A and B are shown apart, each in its own frame.
Chain A
Amino acid sequence: DGGITQSPKYLFRKEGQNVTLSCEQNLNHDAMYWYRQDPGQGLRLIYYSQIVNDFQKGDIAEGYSVSREKKESFPLTVTSAQKNPTAFYLCASSIPGLNSPLHFGNGTRLTVT
Chain B
Amino acid sequence: EDKVVQSPLSLVVHEGDTVTLNCSYEVTNFRSLLWYKQEKKAPTFLFMLTSSGIEKKSGRLSSILDKKELFSILNITATQTGDSAVYLCAVEGQGAQKLVFGQGTRLTINP
Contacts and interface: CB of A to CB of B under 8 A. Distances in A.
B97 A50 contact: yes
Nearest to B46: A101
B13 interface: no
A103 to B, nearest CB: 8
A42 B99 contact: no
B50 interface: yes
Nearest to B100: A45
A40 interface: yes
Contact of A106 (B32, B41, B48): B41
A101 to B, nearest CB: 4
B56 to A, nearest CB: 12
A45 B93 CA distance: 14
Nearest to A33: B98
A99 B32 CA distance: 8
A90 B9 CA distance: 21
B75 interface: no
Given A42-B103, A42-B104, A90-B43, A101 B98 contact: no
Interface string A72-93: 0000000000000000001000
A42 B45 contact: no
Interface of B: 4, 6, 9, 31-32, 34, 41-45, 48, 50, 88, 90, 97-104
7 contacts: A33-B98, A40-B9, A40-B103, A45-B99, A101-B45, A102-B43, A104-B42
